[in-house]
């Protein structure tokens, strides 16, 4: 039987041990090429350090010298139960954009906290972001237990501080695990050093997570990514976000409301009778009909909401604030449209969840907000809670990412 694949993101404050944890997972699951570990030992020796497992994921020379993760990288390991894709996300506040990009790909999250240093502002901010993006499978790991001699009281103190924040988010973590990534404690199996801990090791916890039902059970949503002309035929290409599509199926194009019929489905130059969520396909419509880039192909009887006004939760990442009625570019699925923040209903401290201001004039860097957006023209959207891919959006200015958010209400 084919094994499941689970995409996980590992997040947390800088220097709390994300890259070391990933290195340990790769090492302990025999997921490393034979020559990779010897290479790491050589690099560590040249830098005058003990063997650094973090170097397995911190690929860039600058990262090795500064001891921080800059880019979002993907690595792979497997257990007997399933295959894993790990998204290693930066912890430093300067690299929140990279972390957010990685988080949109993940189905589960591991939030790592240095039990000796404790809960930091960036720890809480990452918790807020993974919750905002709808990741509900969250494992809390408290690292560097060896530094505190595996002290249960210290672990409990730090754990409870972080749980208070999660309670304010309305989130219950799936597992809470004390570990030492460097020593390999509680990673693949429970360790006698922490005999007071009765829960699963990290790999056992990951393997027990249940992957959500596939999105093919939801209504069809296929954002058109591009149009190619081959042998005089115009082929629309895109990835099916949800649902299934069949040859001969009647569809509607949103937001234009044009109706069409699927003539053929092409995958790797071969024709198919049907395709489902997650597949990248090409389409031909009957009678030469063509959808434009940005349009959403949907079921005729179950189409997305079309609106020019929606409410969303947003996290702002730019030095230049989001200001009421200042035009910006919004991207949702493959749609691109100019819009304004018509009303910033709440301005929120993303690391404490304190409401700083209601009916604010602007949203500043690293702040969150509940914002009413108005687009120049109607777009096809969904609530994030219904179809995630159609409920995410980003805000840009001159192709620079400034903010990211989710749609909470499609009609206001």
Print the SS3 string covering 18-68: HHHHHHHHHHHCCCCCCCHHHHHHHHHHHCCCCCCHHHHCCCCHHHHHHCC
CB-CB contact of 288 with 389 (8 Å): no
Each residue's pLDDT tens digit, 287-336:
877 888 999 999 988 999 999 999 999 989 889 999 999 999 999 999 99
Q: What are the sequence ranges of the domains in the chain?
A: 4-208, 215-299, 305-409
More confident residue, 257 or 70: 257
CB-CB contact of 313 with 405 (8 Å): yes
* 4-208 carries CATH number 3.40.47.10: no
Q: What is the pTM of this model?
A: 0.77
More confident residue, 266 or 91: 266
Q: Span 166-177, mean pLDDT?
A: 94
Q: Would you state the torsion angle of the CA atoms of residues 362, 335, 397, 91, taken in this order, to the nearest 10 degrees? A: 80
Rounded to whole angstroms, the Cα distance separating 104 from 394 reads 11
158-161: long-range pairs with CB below 8 Å, 24+ = 158/113, 158/115, 158/118, 158/119, 161/118, 161/119
Q: Residue 75: what pLDDT?
A: 62
Most distant CA pair in the chain: distance in Å? 73
Rounded to whole angstroms, the Cα distance separating 84 from 87 reads 10
Q: Do domains 4-208 and 215-299 have the same CATH topology?
A: no
Q: Residue 35: what pLDDT?
A: 59
pLDDT at 215 over 80: no
Rounded to whole angstroms, the Cα distance separating 412 from 352 reads 28
More confident residue, 45 or 269: 269
Q: Span 45-49, mean pLDDT?
A: 53
Q: What is the mean pLDDT of the chain?
A: 83
Rounded to whole angstroms, the Cα distance separating 167 from 184 reads 30
Using 50, 70 and 90 to split pLDDT, how confident is the model at 94? very low
Q: Which two tokens stand for residue 24?
A: 């340990």
Using 50, 70 and 90 to split pLDDT, how confident is the model at 234? confident
Q: Residue 243: what pLDDT?
A: 92
* 215-299 carries CATH number 2.40.30.10: yes
Rounded to whole angstroms, the Cα distance separating 387 from 185 reads 38
Top CATH class, 305-409: mainly beta
Q: Residue 250: what pLDDT?
A: 94
Helix, strand, coil shares of the chain as percentages rounded to 5? 25, 40, 35
Could you tell me whether strands 138-143 and 175-178 are parallel, antiparallel, or unpaired per DSSP bridges? parallel
More confident residue, 88 or 362: 362
């Amino acid at each position: 039987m084919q094994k499941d694949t689970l995409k996980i993101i590992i997040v947390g404050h800088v220097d709390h041990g994300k890259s070391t944890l990933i290195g340990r997972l790769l090492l302990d699951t025999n997921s490393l090429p034979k020559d990779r570990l010897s290479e790491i030992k050589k690099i560590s020796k040249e830098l005058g350090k003990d063997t650094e497992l973090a170097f397995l994921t911190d690929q860039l020379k600058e990262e090795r010298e500064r001891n921080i993760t800059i880019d979002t990288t993907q690595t792979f390991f497997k257990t007997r139960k399933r295959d894993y894709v790990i998204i290693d996300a930066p912890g430093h506040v300067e690299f929140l954009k990279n972390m957010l990009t990685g988080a949109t790909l993940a189905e589960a999250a591991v939030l790592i906290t240095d039990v000796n240093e404790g809960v930091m502002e960036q720890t809480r901010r990452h918790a807020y972001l993974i919750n905002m993006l709808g990741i509900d499978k969250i494992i809390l790991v408290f690292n560097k237990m060896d530094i505190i001699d595996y002290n249960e009281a210290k672990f409990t103190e730090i754990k409870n501080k972080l749980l208070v924040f999660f309670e304010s988010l309305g989130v219950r973590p799936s597992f809470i695990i004390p570990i030492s990534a460097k020593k390999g404690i509680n990673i693949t199996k429970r360790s006698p050093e922490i005999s007071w801990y009765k829960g699963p090791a990290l790999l056992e916890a990951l393997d027990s997570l249940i992957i959500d039902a596939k999105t093919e059970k939801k209504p069809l949503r296929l954002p058109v990514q591009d149009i190619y002309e081959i042998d005089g035929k115009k082929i629309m290409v895109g990835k099916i976000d949800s649902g299934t599509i069949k040859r001969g199926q009647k569809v509607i194009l949103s937001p234009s409301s044009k109706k069409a019929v699927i003539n053929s489905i092409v995958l790797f130059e071969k024709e198919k009778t049907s395709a489902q969520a997650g597949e990248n396909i090409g389409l031909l419509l009957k009678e030469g009909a063509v959808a434009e880039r940005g349009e959403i192909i949907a079921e005729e009887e179950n189409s997305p909401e079309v609106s020019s006004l929606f409410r969303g939760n947003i996290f702002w990442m730019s030095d230049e604030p989001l200001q009421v009625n200042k035009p910006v570019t919004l991207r949702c699925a493959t749609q691109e449209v100019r819009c304004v923040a018509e009303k910033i209903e709440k301005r929120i401290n993303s690391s404490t969840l304190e409401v700083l201001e209601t009916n604010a004039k602007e949203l500043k860097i690293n702040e969150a907000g509940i914002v009413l957006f108005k687009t120049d023209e109607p777009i096809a959207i969904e609530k994030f809670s219904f179809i995630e891919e159609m409920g995410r959006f980003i805000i840009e200015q001159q192709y620079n990412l400034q903010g990211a958010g989710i749609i909470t209400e499609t009609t206001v």
